[in-house]
């Protein structure tokens, strides 16, 4: 067959949902398969790293990498695919901004190892063995990937050309992005391949979001039965719509749940969490400190709420491991 464009898929620190998302393209995946030659996709096809290494640099049209970078192996694969590909695409929230795995940046390597290999009730590890990059086993040396202290987004490890956001990206977004990439009329490098407007702007509930919204009390989803027609933020639910990029089709809103921010910010926002913090704090209807503080008790986990999918890509990136009373 004449040369079809070559495409690769790879996963790093991720849950597998992004792989599912590709399969979820359903019939549309047949169009993709007909149009391209998939040269590497560990979850589905039996090609090896050595096959990729044997390819000429730049010979893959596009590599879609999902997952954040936690280990030396993931970094090595990201760099390898970068070298072999014309276009490197960060696929899904974790590759885009760190995703859920980046919430581990609220701890460090030592604290994580301590919990996972020492202190949890179900752990039996009398010798206190911790993960190592090299160990002797039956007379051989076994080499394992090293575990970084901090989770990084893909573009903090190597240059990324495009981003497909979402936890996981929706079929429409993926199909649109693949079409754009194969169409040859490429947008400027660094583009996030979705509309660059806030989720609120085309939300079906926008009409019920008051111009000057005042909130007296924040509520968590289990505390209310939300009205299905009214803006969720107006009902005191922490909907991330004002600080999140549109394009998902308002999936959570249509399920009567507040947006948790998985598409990341628009291009005008530097830090999704700080932007959202600013928006909701402004809306609080109090002027005295004690009343403000009482209302803020309704947000028990600000970092986990405001940076659920974007801690690695945020301005601060991680917690500083100082003993402060939070």
Partner 1 sequence: MDKPAAPATADGWEPKIVAFFCNWCTYLAADLAGTSRMKYAPNTRVIRVMCSGRVDPQFVLEALAHGADGVLIGGCHPGDCHYQSGNYKALRRFRLLKRMLLAFGIEDERVRLEWISAAEADKLRDVVNEMVAQVKALGPARLGTPPEDWAVGLEEEADEEVEGVTV
Nearest-approach distance from CB 207 to ligand SF4, in angstroms? 9
Instruction: Report CA torsion sign: 96, 100, 106, 110.
Output: negative
| Contact set for ligand SF4, span 260-279 (CB under 6 A) | 260-263
89 binds ligand SF4, rule: CB under 6 A: no
Nearest-approach distance from CB 319 to ligand SF4, in angstroms? 23
Closer Cβ to partner 1, 19 or 155, answer by number: 155
Q: Considering only residues 63, 85, 244, 272, which one is a binding residue for ligand SF4 as defined by CB under 6 A? A: 244
193 binds ligand SF4, rule: CB under 6 A: no
Whether residue 94 contacts residue 101, with contact meaning beta carbons closer than 8 Å, is answered with: yes
114 binds partner 1, rule: CB under 8 A: no
| Contact set for partner 1, span 224-263 (CB under 8 A) | none
Site track 144-173 with partner 1 (rule: CB under 8 A), x = hit? --xxxxx-x---------------------
76 binds partner 1, rule: CB under 8 A: yes
Closer Cβ to partner 1, 134 or 211, answer by number: 134
Contact set with partner 1 (CB under 8 A): 72, 75-76, 106, 108-110, 132-134, 143, 146-150, 152, 269-271, 273-275, 277-278, 280-282, 284, 286-287, 289, 292-293, 296, 299, 301-303, 306, 314-322, 324-326
């Amino acid at each position: 067959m004449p040369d079809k464009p070559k495409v690769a898929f790879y996963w790093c620190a991720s849950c597998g949902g992004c792989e599912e998302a590709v399969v979820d393209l359903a019939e549309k995946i047949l169009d993709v398969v007909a149009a391209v030659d998939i040269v590497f996709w560990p979850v589905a096809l039996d090609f090896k790293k050595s096959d990729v290494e044997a390819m000429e640099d730049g010979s893959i049209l596009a590599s879609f990498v999902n997952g954040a970078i936690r280990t030396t192996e993931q970094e090595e694969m990201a760099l390898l695919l970068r070298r072999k590909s014309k276009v490197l695409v960060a696929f899904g929230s974790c590759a885009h901004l760190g995703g859920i795995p980046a919430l581990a940046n609220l701890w460090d390597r030592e604290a994580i190892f301590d919990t996972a290999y020492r202190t949890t009730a179900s752990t039996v590890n009398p010798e206190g063995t911790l993960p190592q990059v090299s160990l002797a086993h039956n007379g051989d040396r076994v080499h394992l990937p090293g575990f970084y202290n901090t989770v990084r987004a893909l573009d903090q490890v190597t240059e990324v050309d495009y981003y497909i956001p979402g936890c996981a990206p929706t079929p429409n977004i993926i199909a649109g992005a693949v079409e754009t990439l194969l169409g040859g009329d490429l947008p400027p490098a660094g583009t996030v391949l979705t509309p660059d407007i806030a989720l609120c702007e085309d939300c079906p509930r926008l009409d019920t979001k008051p111009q000057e919204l005042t909130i007296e009390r924040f509520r968590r989803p289990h505390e209310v039965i939300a009205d299905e027609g009214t803006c969720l933020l107006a009902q005191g639910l922490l909907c991330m719509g004002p600080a999140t990029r549109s394009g998902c089709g308002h999936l959570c809103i249509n399920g009567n749940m507040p947006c948790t921010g998985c598409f990341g910010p628009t291009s005008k926002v530097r830090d999704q969490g700080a932007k959202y913090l600013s928006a909701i704090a402004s809306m609080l209807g109090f002027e005295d400190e004690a009343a403000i503080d009482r209302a803020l008790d309704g947000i028990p986990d600000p970092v986990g709420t405001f940076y659920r999918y974007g801690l690695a890509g945020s301005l601060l990136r991680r917690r500083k491991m100082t003993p402060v009373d939070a």
